[in-house]
Amino acid sequence: MSWGFLRDLLSGVNKYSTGIGRIWVAVVFIFRLLVYIAVAENIWKYELDEFECNVKQPGCENVCFDHFFPVSHIRLWALQLIMVSTPSLLVVFHVAYRENREKHHNRKLYKSLGEIDGGLLCTYLISLVLKTGFEIVFLFLFYKLYNGFKVPRLVKCDIRPCPNTVDCYISKPTEKMIFLYFLVATSGLCIVLNLSELSYLIFKYSIKCYLKSYVKKHQ
Amino acid sequence: MDWGALHTILGGVNKHSTSIGKIWLTVLFIFRIMILVVAAERVWGDEQDDFVCNTLQPGCKNVCYDHFFPISHIRLWALQLIFVSTPALLVAMHVAYRRHEKKRQFRKGDKKCEYKDIEEIRKQRFHIEGTLWWTYTSSIFFRLVFEAVFMYAFYFMYDGFRMPRLMKCNAWPCPNTVDCFVSRPTEKTVFTIFMIAVSSICILLNVAELCYLLTKFFLRRSKKAGNPKHHPNHKNKEETKQNEMNELISDSCQNTVIGFSS
């Protein structure tokens, strides 16, 4: 079980997406998942080993690291990727439900299984709202936990068993900051894509409904 | 998800590329991505552990390392490869959109549609003309821009492409100016020069492909202007032969990279 599973999930969702949805999948694959696996994981790999405090007191480094990084950036990033990809499962389940219904009734109930209309439209819109919601929640979490998206070179720590206020140095702070900004930028892009897809779908189906009612009125 | 998955995504674009495009893709996968994964990552693997400063002051090494390497070479290369591969997706999306339109026409039973079944639409190779030409040309242009930007960023950040053995650092909390020693500087210089050389080759290939496409475009325009009656069957036969040759080249290229996985 690894990122390949997420990749397969998103490929499956691609079939039932709109054009903007497919761009979203491409952005998530290439600029988020691939960058995470091929690049970012290695930066944070030895973060605890390389975290150094100006003291010989055993346990002080561990305690200070734990205080400043309750959940590591890289873990939050991974959680964000998983949570943001999961709402697409709702669409997959709905299509599977439609397939099941057709099999059960042994006749064609829907014009096309993957056509985004009726119940599937609601499911799709809910999945878009959830995706956007998760993105915003994680960005907010990053901001709150780490006081913005900066990674300082030096943090001062005075938690027991550290004898006084000690200087602790974080490894590769600039590189980590660059990739955090990259994460924020790609998250922002995905939020914009989700919101445009949402507006596009709502606009398209309002026009469709309006035209239908207009035609009915004049018949 | 890894570089192998990127290869799968871009392999699909290969079918619709020119011959120079196919050579570019092969160079990208064999001389850049494969070298990055198999060799360069090992060379830079221990870069901070073996970065040694002549001081016992805790924190000095971390701060000096961060000062001299704001973003590691290996990470810059990985980002460069990702950004340079991405414009090809524009072409993939355009082709997918065209296929989708043709499938829609076929399903509606449009008489203009010349395909016998959906499989034929799926397997069809589109010629680089019309709007696809514009998409393809813009993707090459963006590739060139990204390559140039990353090469410049490299040169700017590291003052050239040499990795020095010794760096002098006096950032706080280092007590004075301390000597810091980089691990494997010669090996890193060799790989840096190699990657820059292959980048330059890729830039040349992209420029050549751009010139080829522009020449073809202008020739086609002048032919149309000068000779309104053309023989479509004969042209199609020539193009079919060229397509078959391209398929053979792409298949042999695919076979050379098919064993690659990270």
Domains and CATH numbers, chain A: 3-218 (1.20.1440.80)
**Closest-CA distance of chain B to residue A46, Å:** 10
The average pLDDT across A23-32 equals 91
Over residues B147-162, the pLDDT tens digits come to 999 999 999 998 888 8
Given a contact cutoff of 8 angstroms between Cβ atoms, the answer to whether B23 and B206 are in contact is no
Q: Is residue B3 domain-resident?
A: no
Chain A to chain B, count of Cβ pairs less than 8 Å apart? 99
pLDDT surpassing 80 at residue B200: yes
Cross-chain CB nearest to A26 (options B2, B61, B89) = B89
Query: According to the model, what pLDDT value does residue B222 have?
Result: 86
pTM equals: 0.78
Cross-chain CB nearest to A34 (options B6, B59, B173) = B6
Q: Is residue B56 domain-resident?
A: yes
- Residues of A whose CB is below 8 A from B2: 34, 37-38
pLDDT bucket at B169, cuts 50 / 70 / 90: very high
Q: Does A27 touch chain B (CB under 8 A)?
A: no
Please report, rounded to a whole number, the percentage of residues in chain B having pLDDT higher than 70: 80
Query: According to the model, what pLDDT value does residue B258 have?
Result: 37
Rg (CA), chain B: 24
Q: Is residue B5 domain-resident?
A: no
CATH number at B143 reads 1.20.1440.80
- Residues of B whose CB is below 8 A from A35: 78-79, 82
pLDDT surpassing 70 at residue A58: yes
Q: Does A6 touch chain B (CB under 8 A)?
A: yes
Q: What is the spatial distance between Cα A73 and Cα B216, in angstroms, rounded to a whole number?
A: 50
Query: According to the model, what pLDDT value does residue A118 have?
Result: 79
- Contacts with A, B 85-104, CB within 8 Å: 85-86, 89, 93, 96-97
Query: According to the model, what pLDDT value does residue B259 have?
Result: 34
What are all long-range contacts of A210-216, with beta carbons under 8 Å and residues at least 24 apart? none
| Inter-chain residue contact B82 with A43, CB threshold 8 Å | no
Split into its structural domains, chain B has a count of 1
Q: Does B38 touch chain A (CB under 8 A)?
A: no
- Here the tokens at position B101 are 């339109």
- Residues of A whose CB is below 8 A from B1: 3-4, 6-7, 29, 33-34, 37
Task: State chain A's mean pLDDT as an integer.
Answer: 89
Query: According to the model, what pLDDT value does residue B120 have?
Result: 66
Q: Is residue B228 domain-resident?
A: no
Query: According to the model, what pLDDT value does residue B97 have?
Result: 83
Beta strands in chain B (DSSP E): 52-53, 166-169, 178-181
pLDDT surpassing 90 at residue B63: yes
Query: According to the model, what pLDDT value does residue B262 have?
Result: 32
Cross-chain CB nearest to A37 (options B1, B71, B93) = B1
Q: Which residues contact A5 (CB under 8 A, 6 or more apart)?
A: none
DSSP 8-state symbol, A86: T
| Inter-chain residue contact A37 with B2, CB threshold 8 Å | yes
| Inter-chain residue contact A26 with B93, CB threshold 8 Å | yes
Q: Which residues contact A194 (CB under 8 A, 6 or more apart)?
A: A24, A128, A131, A132, A135
Over residues A171-193, the pLDDT tens digits come to 999 999 999 999 999 999 999 99
Pick the residue from chain A with its C-alpha nearest to B2.
Answer: A34
- Residues of B whose CB is below 8 A from A52: 58-59, 61-62
Query: According to the model, what pLDDT value does residue A35 have?
Result: 93
Q: What is the spatial distance between Cα B216 and Cα B210, in angstroms, rounded to a whole number?
A: 10
**Closest-CA distance of chain A to residue B232, Å:** 34
Q: Is residue B93 domain-resident?
A: yes
pLDDT bucket at A36, cuts 50 / 70 / 90: very high
CA dist A150 → A41, A171, A175, B104, B252 (Å): 18, 13, 11, 50, 48
Give the lowest-confidence range in A111-115, A126-130, A154-158, B178-182: A111-115
pLDDT surpassing 50 at residue A68: yes
Q: Is residue B2 domain-resident?
A: no
Query: According to the model, what pLDDT value does residue A94 have?
Result: 87
**Closest-CA distance of chain A to residue B49, Å:** 8
Query: According to the model, what pLDDT value does residue A31 have?
Result: 92
pLDDT bucket at B261, cuts 50 / 70 / 90: very low
Query: According to the model, what pLDDT value does residue B43 have?
Result: 86
- Residues of A whose CB is below 8 A from B62: 50, 52, 153, 169-171
Q: Is residue B4 domain-resident?
A: no
Q: Does B70 touch chain A (CB under 8 A)?
A: yes
Cross-chain CB nearest to B59 (options A22, A52, A175) = A52
Q: Is residue B7 domain-resident?
A: no
Tell me the residue range of the domain where B96 lies.
Answer: 18-221
- Residues of A whose CB is below 8 A from B150: none
Between strands A166-169 and B166-169, the pairing is unpaired
Over residues B208-257, the pLDDT tens digits come to 999 999 998 888 888 877 766 555 554 555 555 555 555 554 444 444 43
